[in-house]
Amino acid sequence: MTEKPPVRTPPPSKHQLAFMIWLCVFPTLTVINLAFGVWLRTLSPVLRTFVLATIAVPIVIYGLMPHLHRLRGRLLAPGGPTSRA
């Protein structure tokens, strides 16, 4: 008996990827602003943006996006929640 190789979900379209990134970036920036807002307010706009990006980008890229990609794969996989029997 041979096992079938797992079906690979195609990569997201540019529109799906943009939406996935937004789903990660908006809440991340909101939480960072709520947590560090008083301190960030004292910085110049350029330095504030640098600090926000330095904190947010690794959280989004290494922390949140892999989970979102796996979730998307499960949702689109054959036999997943969106498939019709």
| DSSP conformation class of 49 | H
pLDDT average, residue stretch 13-41: 96
> How many alpha carbons lie under 13 Å from residue 11 in its C-beta half-sphere?
4
pLDDT average, residue stretch 66-83: 83
Question: Is it the case that residue 66 has pLDDT exceeding 70?
Answer: yes
CA 23 to chain centre: 6
pLDDT average, residue stretch 11-37: 96
Question: Is it the case that residue 84 has pLDDT exceeding 80?
Answer: no
The four Cα atoms 11, 16, 21, 24 give a dihedral, to 10 degrees, of -100
Q: Indicate if the alpha-carbon torsion angle 52, 31, 58, 23 is positive or negative.
A: negative
Check residues 73 and 2 and name the one with the higher pLDDT.
73
The four Cα atoms 37, 27, 24, 54 give a dihedral, to 10 degrees, of 0
Which pLDDT score, from 0 to 100, does residue 3 have?
A: 73
pLDDT band at 8 (very low <50, low <70, confident <90, very high): confident
pLDDT average, residue stretch 31-54: 96
